[in-house]
Amino acid sequence: MHIPDGFLDTKTALATAALSAVSLAAGLRSLEQTLPRRKIPLMGLVAAFVFAAQMVNFPVAGGTSGHLMGGVLTAVLLGPSAGMVVLAAVLIVQCFLFADGGVLALGANILNMGIAGTVGGYAVYRGMARVLRGERGRYVAMALGAWCSSVFASVLCAGELAWSGTVSWDAAFPAMANIHMLIGIGEAVITVLATAFIAASRPDLLARGRSEDAGNELGRRVTFGAVIVIALVLFVSPFASDWPDGLESVAAALGFDRVAVVPPPVPSPMAGYAIPGIGSPAAATVVAGAVGAIVIFAVGFILARIVVPARQSPSGEDATDGTER
Amino acid sequence: MRHDYLDRYSRLDSPLHRLPAGMKLAIALALVLGTVAVPFHVTAFFVAAGAFLVICVLLSGIPLRFVVTRLLMLEPFVAGVALLAFLQPGGGLVAARVLVKSNLCLATMVLLSNTTPFASLLDVLRMLRVPALLITVLSLLYRYVFVLVDQAERMARARRSRTFSTRRSSLWRTGAGIVGQLFITATERAERIYAAMTARGWQ
């Protein structure tokens, strides 16, 4: 999913760079205030860990294999700001040392994987963990968050490609989203199993990671939330016909709707924009997304039953109390 | 894996390697920006950019074969999106545009990373007032990525030599175990590194 140079036009590159610079600055400032000095080497080592963990192959089918992205795993272990900075560092090194992902596309890649993927997926995890409760519920939420991180990143990526006129939304969105709904299942399984492994052998690492990202909550949340909403308004809402009206009116108020009516340089039917309905590939993909979310819940419940032994009751409040603090 | 595997040609001695890092970074960024921004029908620009890159490779003493293999390794995603563009009505030109522009940019970055040591690039970033925390994370990442990749490979090899079932579920569980164990040892290593850094007077 690393976008190379030459895929994004200048306006998209600049917009994504600005958005990711703002949230990276917010995340770094929050860390500088809250991160103890002794944790600074840990950030670098965890970045190297993400890099190495991405090289561990998981057999999928027919000789193909997948690997971890690691955004939600890092955010669960270190907190969202640290997760975002770690993913950004990994992307910067991959860009400059491997030429994996372009320099001008670096902002877009950090926005997709480091911010929408990591912070967005982590937000889903936290929200769901609050609803589902219990040790098992936490793992179900983690599976959903990890799956969402993969899907969020791919949808933004499709939006950026479409906004640049490289590939039309109707081609990019189904292709990217459908593939990453499958990849996301792998991401969810690895995230849950790896976290369960760490919880079993060093539970203190999990508990510590969760307690140390409390500072500067509101300001950071507002910044991250605003960045993700702006990214959605810019890159996704111009194309999605069945998007809620609220965002469209925001887009209209800010003048972004003009972007949507300018026909892309690539001639395309834009069926999903004119006629909402199951007939368009984009709408079919949204339906597939709903099905995928149900599947990932089932996967999450099965995994949670495997990794949390039965003696801790599924709604065991005391188990939650032990780990949430 | 050797420590200098990733940017193994970055410490050669050539006119290109001797240029200041900031200058090379600026030239590379300008070239990438130009390649992305110049409209595709200005063929002369892209021919000139390609010729400039070939001259640079020859000047730098980096084997041409190495640059080409690196480009081919990075090609799958480029080819995938180019194919998607090609399949649309009238997408042939878009596909060609994507292929030419992406490959020029990729070659530029491969050349930059193999003529400039990463530490010098970080020095440039430091001068540009990039926050110190990010610089520290980046330099530690660069320093220890080899160690951790090595460790991951050793663990994967140990697992392969002891695994006699091909059941996917057990392979995934042990794979996730490697990831988890890797995190735990990275944390422990970070604690030792912090102690060592403090003992040597790190702020």
Looking at beta carbons, which residues of chain A come within 8 Å of B145?
Answer: 47-48, 51-52, 93
A33 min Cα distance to partner chain B (Å):
11
Q: In chain A, whose CA is at the least distance from the CA of B138?
A: A89
What's the distance, Cα to Cα, between the start and end of chain B in Å? 32
pTM, full prediction: 0.83
pLDDT at residue A264, as a whole number: 39
Of the candidates A9, A17, A13, the residue with the CA atom closest to the CA atom of residue A266: A9
With cut-offs at 50, 70 and 90, classify the pLDDT of residue A183: confident
CB contact under 8 A, B190 and A41: yes
CB contact under 8 A, B74 and A99: yes
What is the pLDDT averaged over residues A283-290? 77
B47-63: pLDDT as tens digits: 999 999 999 988 888 88
Give the position of tokens 């189904």: A174
Chain centroid to Cα A293, Å, comes to 15
B163-183: pLDDT as tens digits: 887 777 888 888 899 999 999
User: What is the rounded distance in angstroms from the CA atom of residue B18 to the CA atom of residue B84?
Assistant: 42
pLDDT at residue A311, as a whole number: 59
B57 touches chain A (CB under 8 A): no
User: What is the rounded distance in angstroms from the CA atom of residue A118 to the CA atom of residue A81?
Assistant: 9
Reply yes or no on whether the pLDDT at A180 is more than 50: yes
CB contact under 8 A, B133 and A198: no
Reply yes or no on whether the pLDDT at A267 is more than 50: no
User: What is the rounded distance in angstroms from the CA atom of residue A322 to the CA atom of residue A142?
Assistant: 18
CB contact under 8 A, B175 and A45: no
* Residues whose CB is less than 8 angstroms from the CB of residue B33 and which lie 6 or more positions away in sequence, other chains included: A10, A104
The rounded radius of gyration (Å) of the Cα atoms in chain A is 20
- Contact assessment for residue A169 and residue A272, using Cβ atoms and an 8 Å cutoff: yes
Reply yes or no on whether the pLDDT at A278 is more than 60: no
Reply yes or no on whether the pLDDT at B65 is more than 50: yes
Interface with chain A: mutation pick from B120, B145, B167, highest number of A CBs within 10 Å: B145
CB contact under 8 A, B172 and A193: yes
Chain centroid to Cα B99, Å, comes to 19
CB contact under 8 A, B134 and A28: yes
The Cα-based distances of B108 to A304, B52, B76, B88, B104 in angstroms read 47, 10, 18, 29, 6
Reply yes or no on whether the pLDDT at A310 is more than 90: no
pLDDT at residue B4, as a whole number: 54
B190-201: pLDDT as tens digits: 999 999 999 998
Minimum mean pLDDT range among A176-180, A239-243, B109-113: A239-243
Residue-averaged pLDDT of chain A: 78
Of the candidates B195, B200, B191, B30, the residue with the CA atom closest to the CA atom of residue B112: B30
Q: So what's the ipTM on this one?
A: 0.88
- Contact assessment for residue A192 and residue A206, using Cβ atoms and an 8 Å cutoff: no
CB contact under 8 A, B183 and A7: no
User: What is the rounded distance in angstroms from the CA atom of residue B119 to the CA atom of residue B99?
Assistant: 31
- Name which of A13, A37, A93 is nearest B138 (Cβ-Cβ): A93
Of the candidates A219, A198, A225, the residue with the CA atom closest to the CA atom of residue A210: A198
Looking at beta carbons, which residues of chain B come within 8 Å of A84?
Answer: none
Minimum mean pLDDT range among A119-133, A153-167, A254-268, B18-32: A254-268
